[in-house]
Homo-oligomer: A and B are copies of this chain.
């Protein structure tokens, strides 16, 4: 019934690798570091937020969007919660919250709060993002659906 140590350790390493991957998004977004963001996604990976879908190099290019540049200029934090991770062989689903805090006057305001669902795949021992969906937690079913 007990699995071999190597299998158990591999499972732990997979979990930590996925958590680590997602942890790298926030600081890269706040620093405007497009290449680090690009490294998180698999080739041809996609990112859907609200009604927009970015694919391929456009994912890394999101830091150049006017909205993102304004966040960085005013002061912002892309703050993500630790993901719930479910691994199935070489694919995995992770879900977590993301908050964009923007400095407005003397304080920071939560201008975006989203539910996130990350579809990940392991290729050659390396986990990457195949698709990320983020929907605003504004009372619509769209966002709640991502958490199920």
Contact = CB atoms under 8 A, between A and B. Distances in A.
A107 interface: yes
B139 A19 contact: no
A144 B31 contact: yes
B75 A138 contact: yes
Interface stretch (A45-53, A80-88, A126-134): A80-88
A139 B73 contact: yes
A33 interface: yes
Nearest to A10: B8
A65 interface: no
A32 B141 CA distance: 11
Contact of A77 (B31, B32, B137, B145): B137
A140 to B, nearest CB: 8
Interface residues of A, number: 56
Copy number in the complex reads: 3
Given A81-B79, A147-B31, A109 B107 contact: yes
A148 B95 CA distance: 25
Given A80-B82, A99-B108, A108-B110, 15 more contacts: A16-B16, A23-B82, A23-B83, A24-B84, A28-B147, A30-B143, A30-B144, A31-B144, A31-B147, A33-B148, A72-B144, A75-B113, A103-B113, A103-B138, A106-B111
